[in-house]
Structure 1
Amino acid sequence: MVAILAVVAVLLFLVGADDRTQNVVQSITGVAALIATLATIRTSAPTAVLAPDTSPASAAPVASPLNDRPIQVWSTPPRNPHFTGRETELRALAVALSADRVVSVSALHGLGGVGKTHLALEFAYRHQDTLDTAWWVRAEEAATIPAQMAAFATALGVDAGDDPLAAVRAELGRRSGWLLVFDNVEDFAVLRDAIPTRGDGWVLITTRRTGAEAFGQVLSMDVLRRTESVRLLEDRLPELSATVADRLADLVGDLPLALVQAASYIRQTGIPVTEYVRLLESRLGDMVGRGYVVDRDGTTIATLWQVTLERLRAGTPAAVQLLEVCAWLDPDAIPLDLFTNHPNELPSPLSEAAADPVAFADAVGILVAFSLIRRDGTNIAVHRLLQASVRATTPAALTEAVALLDTAAPEKVYGRPRNWPSWRELLPHVLTATSYPEATTIDPDRMDRMLAGAGAFLQTQGQYSDAEPLLRRALSLTEATHGPDHPRVAIRLNNLAKAMRDLKRPGEAVPLAHRALAINEAIHGPDHPSVAIRLNSVAMALQDLGQSDEAEPLLRRALAINESVNGPDHSSVAIRLHNLARVLRDLERPGEAEPLARRALAISEAVHGPDHPTVAIRLHNLAQVLLDLERPSDAEPFARRALSIDEAAYGPNHPDVAIRLNGIARVLEALGRPSEAEPFARRAADIQPRLNLSTADGQE
């Protein structure tokens, strides 16, 4: 009778457990095993069955041992039925916890929302057949841990007494086959008294903070791989195409919580996926708070980091200010010297911290410690959704970001290759900071300089189509700020005209160049160096239109101005000589062009040195003049030297490199060496279609 009552009690108990945490198959299997065990009992004391633990720490009731085989003590939350990917991480965790130690301790570390908790859950469920005990401790609030450990002691059948942590440690020291999870640890101090030092079991810690190395091996978790992100979305939204899923995953940066939140919002609201994607593209900051995730107790991307940030704001405000400025920059490769080189552009107390290497290292370190940023040497990175969440409440930080970039970015770009590395590093951040609607409220002169500088840099790199909208924005901003006839407007018109020529649209360049010329003539008179620049621009556009006869007098006038004002050996004189030589070639007067081209080369070598990209332009032009004069053997060394300079300056795929390659191919053809010419011509052809480039050979 006692055995029958025990079976009934256990059956009822397991059905209850199924309602809370385990599936029906597991319950039936457990009951069958117990009945089989009881059938072998001839004489036995009654089996005690503990009532379910209703404390928050426990998700399932506990049974005492039966024939030395305990029923599982199991308090883990429900398994995620949509768990996707992470096989590499699960294997790594299994290896780490299988190390030859009495108690194996490992930690999962990463950004909030990256999936640490669900990975720990999946690990527990995959190993439940080898575990007698698995206990889950919600550790974000250190003050609640003793109560949860007291509940664990009760579940283990031991008296917690005045020190539940010690009671649990002692009991687990006598057991094997157990897993103890401390989820979302914020304060590691309490773990020193909570982690067992004896017994054959596993301890798993999940945390956003660095420092878990003191307890065991740390496995850092990143966002999902793109294929895993797509699979997660397709699992929750079967109607989703792979292309749209890929775009959605890209927009939320492959962050698991954000992916789940997005899928939930789409499912709950019925919004078409393409419309949701458009909202993410245009209003990411507004969308990060939308979408209810069932197992996150109301937590969304918008609220995920708020508690941590408020805590940091009270203790280390400089660190929070650093994050706020970074929120308005590109998420990747943010150079730390952007802050340390320009502390006066920053708010206090960040400005003081940026001026002090120790204080700044502390500010960066605290953000790294809480997984709010990643550091890679001299750069840091921030997840794009964390940025969006921070931007929503810190619009003033955009002004500080723009001020930093404006101060750091070199103003001179054209013909200044020494400034290009700085622009290459800052360009993603300039493009990001100037793209926000809020940027329209920023100091217009700062915005103008950044847009114009970014456009100019893109021109030097052969990215003409990307440069055009930036140059047009700079022009519009300058006109609105200073009026239509300001000298800075003439500069912006001139640069846009150059972009039109680069894009093979000289018909659009001519009116822009003429307007710039008229502005400068009205302000400075007919003989000012700025007028010479504008005359040159008009002439180059006319040449592109096949009107070299009209271009020649404009260039001769520009040359006369520069020689008179700047002297015969000025760099501006070299530009006029170079362009006049090109026009004379078009007019089939190469004999007149040669001395001009040689003089331009000599001036540029004297001004810039022998290996400057400007010298490559001069060398190429002289080689083409010599080719026109049917002297290809004289032209070859100039053409090869020009290619060598540009490849060193720009790399192998720049439009100027394509021009030099074509120049050598022409020379080799003229020398009767077509087999040598062919690979140069083929390389040039490969570059130009890929970049959609102009084939102009060296206008300035």
Structure 2
Amino acid sequence: MIAHTTAPSACGEHVADVHSLIGSAYTARDASDHGQAEHLLRQAVAHTQGQALAPARVQAQTALAEIWRQRGQYRRAGLLLRLTLTTAETACGVKSLQVAAVCNEWAILGKYTGDFVHAETLYHRALAIYETVHGSEHHTVATICHNLGGLAHTRGDHATGEPWARRAVDIRTRLLGADHPKVAADAAAWAALLDGTGRHDQAEQVLRRALEIFEATYGPDHYEVAITAHNLAALAHRRGDLQAAQAGYRHALALKQAILGPEHPECATTLVNLAATHHRQGDDAQALGHYALAIAILEGAVEPDHPVLTIARRGHTQTTAQPPSDQ
């Protein structure tokens, strides 16, 4: 999330309390204690009644929506963000940094739910604000470029997404240095798009370097490690190395289930790809089980035409007919 602080006012003491609660919530979130993070953010929202505290309320509600998204509570997060954007526009101005932060978080949610057109509009609105306020070489600009690349990847439009992801890597490398974990996160996202545009060897090289940085920074049981393990497995899958792909997918799935919970929608992508490897090996019973679990996780959590849900349904019904497409 991109956070923005609020300048002290006559209600400065309350604002400081709210910022302290939000800071503590971020610490809890980074420690994967999402329950404590939600509790602290609810307290922060409760401390921001009144027009003078509206900017602080926007920040607290945006952070709370982020926690709900990370916990897979997509519809709840979307309702809160809709309300929060209206508050931000009224209290802070339609071209304010607060509006940009809400737009970014709502767009991230849209990528996960399948509301892609709305997400792209929100990202470009946020990007225009950040470039106007900060210029083109700022970490917020890099974040939106990263996110636009990720959205294009989810839509399967790798050629459009690759320049956005590369721009994020370039900006963040100049700001932080090549070995920073945030640069590694940008590079891992870029690698997925390189793979999609046919540059498989370059993609694997970039991914393996990102994995080294993540494991050195966070240890082996981190969300970024899970995502990178999934993407490396997908590379092996596309090359036809089904055993390596299955091992990678299982590792990624175990990490996701431990970090996010077994019913989190992000587990479904790995389940679908794991199912496809089993189908190609002729193990239809395993494939059907994984497809069914992915469908159960996604139905009601994402848009009915979300690409992962579509692939899972098609794979489940056509397992014995032909190999399904991979995500």
TM-score interval, smaller chain:
0.7 to 0.9
Aligned 1:80-159 pairs, distance under 5 A: none
Q: TM-score, normalised by structure 2?
A: 0.76
**TM-score (normalizing by structure 1):** 0.37
3-state secondary structure, aligned to 1:630: coil
Code of the residue aligned with 1:563 in structure 2: it is: E
In structure 2, which of residues 28, 33, 50 is the aligned counterpart of residue 346 of structure 1?
A: 50
Structure 1 residue matching 2:198: 3-state secondary structure: coil
- The equivalent residue for 2:28 is none
Question: Would you say 1:609 and 2:313 are equivalent positions?
Answer: no
- C-alpha separation in 2, matches of 1:463 and 1:528: 31
2:58/2:84 contact within 8 Å kept: yes
The residue that corresponds to 1:425 in the other structure is 79
Cα gap change, 1:464 to 1:652, in 2 (>3 Å) = closer
Q: Which amino acid aligns with 2:233?
A: A
Residues 477 and 538 of structure 1: CA distance in aligned 2, closer, same or farther (over 3 Å)? same
Contact 2:149–2:161 at 8 Å: present in 1 too?
yes
Letter of the 2:83 partner, please give it: H
* Cα distance between partner residues in 1 of 2:79 and 2:153: 27
Gaps of 5+ in 1: 1-337, 349-399, 672-680, 682-694
Distance 1:557 1:567 in 2: 15
Q: Distance in 2 between matches of 1:656 and 1:406?
A: 31
Match of 1:468 among 110, 113, 120: 120
Give 1:416's match in structure 2, choosing from 59, 65, 70: 70
1:509 aligns with 2:213: no
8 Å CA contact retained: 1:542, 1:548: yes
User: Taking structure 1 as reference, are residues 414 and 344 closer, same or farther at Cα in structure 2, changes over 3 Å only?
Assistant: closer
Q: CA deviation at 1:661?
A: 0.8
The secondary structure found in structure 2 opposite 1:649 is coil
Q: How does 1:205-604 map to 2 (within 5 A)?
A: 341-342=45-46, 344-347=48-51, 404-409=57-62, 410=64, 412=66, 416-430=70-84, 432=86, 439-440=93-94, 444-604=96-256
Measured in 1, the distance between the counterparts of 2:306 and 2:151 equals: 16
1:412 Cα deviation from its structure 2 partner: 2.4
Q: Give the Cα separation in 1 of the matches to 2:68 and 2:143.
A: 12
Residue 50 of structure 2 aligns to which amino acid in structure 1?
L
C-alpha distance after superposition, 1:62-104 (max 9, x if no partner): xxxxxxxxxxxxxxxxxxxxxxxxxxxxxxxxxxxxxxxxxxx
- Work out the CA distance in 1 between the residues paired with 2:288 and 2:149: 33
Shift of 1:537: 1.4
Output the CA distance in 2 between the equivalents of 1:629 and 1:556: 27
Secondary structure of 2:101's aligned partner: helix
CA contact (8 A) 1:548 1:586 kept: no
For residues 344 and 413 of structure 1, what CA distance do their matches in structure 2 show? Answer: 18
Q: Deviations over 1:467-491 (max 9, x none)?
A: 1111011112122222322222211
Q: What residue is the counterpart of 1:131 in the other structure?
A: none
Q: Secondary structure at the match of 1:546?
A: coil
Note the alpha carbon deviations across 1:545-588, whole angstroms, 9 max, x for none: 23333322111211222122221222211111101111121122
| Equivalent-residue separation in structure 2 for 1:424 and 1:509 (angstroms) | 24
Q: Distance in 2 between matches of 1:510 and 1:643?
A: 29
Q: Percent identity at matched positions?
A: 29
Task: Give the 3-state SS of the residue equivalent to 1:531 in structure 2.
Answer: helix
Cα deviation for residue 513 of structure 1 reads 0.7
Change (3 A) 1:655 1:483: same
After superposition, the C-alpha distances for 1:329-365 in whole angstroms (9 at most, x for unaligned) are xxxxxxxxx9x954535147xxxxxxxxxxxxxxxxx
How many Å apart are 1:648 and its aligned residue?
5.0
CA separation of 1:641/1:422 partners in 2, compared to 1, >3 Å: closer, same or farther?
A: closer
Aligned mates of 1:616, 1:665 — CA distance in 2: 17
1:632 & 1:548 partners in 2: Cα distance? 29
Q: Deviations over 1:589-639 (max 9, x none)?
A: 222212111111111222222211122222212111222333333322122
Aligned-partner Cα distance in 2 for 1:561–1:639: 32
AA aligned to 1:474 is A
Relative to its length, the structure with more helix (as a share) is 2
CA distance in 1, matches of 2:160, 2:234: 21
Q: Distance in 2 between matches of 1:565 and 1:593?
A: 25
Paired residues for 1:2-81 under 5 Å: none
Is the contact between residue 75 and residue 301 of structure 2 (CA under 8 Å) also seen in structure 1? no
- 2:268–2:297 contact (8 Å) kept in structure 1: yes
Contact kept, 8 Å, 1:412 with 1:419, in 2: the verdict is: no
Counterpart residue number, 1:327: none
- Once residues 648 and 404 of structure 1 are traced to their aligned partners in structure 2, the CA distance between those partners, rounded to angstroms, is 29
SS in 2 for 1:412: helix
Check conservation: 1:604, 1:615, Cα contact below 8 A. Answer: yes
Secondary structure of the corresponding residue to residue 588 of structure 1: coil
Amino acid at match of 2:74: W
**Pair 404,415 (structure 1): closer, same or farther in 2 beyond 3 Å:** closer
**Contact 1:591–1:629 (CA<8 Å) still a contact in 2?**
no
1:620-679 deviation digits (Å, cap 9, x = unpaired)? 1211122233333332212211111112533755443212112223424259xxxxxxxx
Three-state SS of the structure 1 residue aligned to 2:48 is helix
Q: Cα offset for 1:514?
A: 0.8
Question: For the Cα contact (< 8 Å) 2:195–2:203, is it kept in 1?
Answer: yes
Aligned-partner residue type, residue 286 of structure 2: D
Letter in 2 for 1:531: V
- One-letter code aligned to 1:429: L
